[in-house]
Amino acid sequence: MRTLYSAVTTLALALLALPAFAASPNAADLHGAYRFQRDHWIYVHLQGSPHQIGYQHGYLLAPEIDEAFHAARLDNVHGTGRPWSFFRNVAQNIYWPHIETQYREELQGIADGARAHGVTDMDLWDVVALNGFLETPQYYVPWLDAQHHGATQAEPKTRGNCSAFVATGDWTRDHHPVIAHSMWYSFMAGEWWRIVFDIQPDHGYHILMDGFPGKIDSGDDFGMNSAGIAITETTITGFRGFDPNGVPEFVRARKAMQYSASIDDFVRIMLDGNNGGYANDWLIADNRTNEVARLELGLKVHRVWRTKNGYFVGSNFPSDPTLIKEETDFNPNDPTSSMNARHKRWKELMAQYKGRIDAHLAEQFLADHYDAYEGRIDPDERTLCGHVDQSPRGVPQWDSPPYDPSGAVNAKAADSALIAHLSFYARSGRPCGQDFKAASFLAAHPRFAWQKPDLTDMGGNPWALFEGNDHAQ
């Protein structure tokens, strides 16, 4: 099922390319939707009501949802030792009661569309569980363990994922915002973060974001909307905290992308019903005012920094002393950690290139292999382009043994001119363009044999440009 559709620009051509098992689609629900492939990215244009957007998503990405769901499910089950039925139960009883109607309809639409295209082993609760596959193992499960065994036995499981920055004013070439991000995750599931979602909803703003098949939010959280708001984040390492009566992060993140016309809007939406799930340092750019901001969002503690002349960087380090003390086990004074070494490297690059930063320099930053702790080029878990699979030390915060098959799996960058045209550059695979070969890695590290056959090659790819209402070329 890995064979992708050929590039298409019309729904008629898309339907001709469907596999033989596809059921007759609901033509009204698919009206205006299409997909094509560019440089290993799959671009999908979705439009209409919440259910229509979901149905188009589920139908056009059915083969990818099927495989990505299997990889995410295996990752969650193996990582927690709990059966998939546990995750379905969390979806139904913890998340669903706090999901507002428009996103319930979209989630149901994904399930309906995927089923119409032949994916028969997924229902609504699988789709909701897939949307929570970051929140449930890393936030809900540690909270649940703490309730049963006490906080001293429940260690935080939040991993250090992603490198990012946002800058404006004297720091950028044109004195307007530049924003960039690389996603870090296990290669088994992370390889699927190669969807570009172009969403024109009946209500809210036009969205362009990268994402994961089957998720209503970006998940790795890079995107922008037609109001000129661009957004990204990096997770807070070692975070502990969860409110089972709050709104899932995947709902708040999608809503903030869809309805924010200002930094204040974004902060308000993310705080409304905050459940502590997928706790992040959010980096935000308002392209109309040239202001950038950082929202550090825990469960009980949050803080906002804003500027029209400066930058904010992210490498999974929290900054607020109260949040660090009360809600994490993060050590800001450990120079050997991935988070602190990358933070140091970000500050070096910002100082070195002050006044020259643009989208193309951002691409170079995300591909950087300089280990600031070692003081030399050495692609590993401490470099902005994360190569955890090549690091013999491993990273305790990742809850993984040495040479874990994980690290940076994509990169995105945009400057003010791109944001104004609802567009960004994106690179699928490592930001540096190097290949990852699954067979050779598994042969050298048989302890990861459980990832077969879901761990696949991740090839190097060029940077590609995407925009709203894009079409195949």
Tokens standing for residue 260: 């924010």
Q: What are 423's strand-pairing partners?
A: 467
pLDDT for residue 419: 98
Q: What is the rounded end-to-end Cα distance, in angstroms, of the chain? A: 24
Quote the CA–CA distance of 315 and 330 in Å, as a whole number. 13
Q: Which letter, b or e, does each residue of 262-301 get, where b requires 16 or more Cβ atoms within 10 Å of its Cβ?
A: bbebbbebbeebbbbbbbbbbbbbbbeebbbbbbbbbbeb
pLDDT for residue 403: 73
Range 312-341 average pLDDT? 96
Residue pLDDT, tens place only, 262-318: 999 999 999 999 999 999 999 999 999 999 999 999 999 999 999 999 999 999 999
Residues in the chain, overall count: 473
Helix (H) or strand (E) segment spanning residue 180: strand 178-186
| Residue 152's pLDDT band (cuts 50, 70, 90) | very low
| Residue 23's pLDDT band (cuts 50, 70, 90) | low
Report the percentage of the chain scoring pLDDT > 70. Answer: 90
Tokens standing for residue 80: 């927690």
Determine if residue 377 is left, alpha or beta; phi over 0 gives left, psi from -120 to 50 gives alpha, anything else beta.
Answer: beta
Quote the CA–CA distance of 107 and 160 in Å, as a whole number. 28
Range 150-160 average pLDDT? 54
pLDDT at 440 exceeding the cut of 50: yes
> Taking each helix axis from N to C terminus, what angle separates 62-80 and 101-116, rounded to the nearest 10 degrees?
110
| 28 within 8 A of 51, measured Cβ to Cβ | no
pLDDT at 158 exceeding the cut of 70: no
pLDDT for residue 159: 63
| Residue 80's pLDDT band (cuts 50, 70, 90) | very high
pLDDT for residue 4: 35
Q: Which domains does the chain have, with CATH numbers?
A: 163-188+232-444 (3.60.60.20)
Quote the CA–CA distance of 171 and 295 in Å, as a whole number. 20
pLDDT for residue 453: 82
CA-CA-CA-CA dihedral for 361, 425, 287, 209, to nearest 10: -140
Tokens standing for residue 435: 């290949």
| Residue 26's pLDDT band (cuts 50, 70, 90) | confident
pTM: 0.92
Range 51-61 average pLDDT? 98
Name the nearest CA neighbour of 130 among 213, 234, 253: 213
E-state strands within 298-369: 302-307, 310-314
Range 412-426 average pLDDT? 98
Give the residue with greater pLDDT, 415 vs 444. 415
Range 434-461 average pLDDT? 90
Range 77-103 average pLDDT? 97
Range 331-343 average pLDDT? 95
Range 335-348 average pLDDT? 96
Range 137-159 average pLDDT? 75
Tokens standing for residue 395: 């990273």
Range 38-54 average pLDDT? 98
pLDDT for residue 402: 63
Tokens standing for residue 458: 């991740």
Bridge-based pairing state of the strands 195-201 and 41-48 = parallel
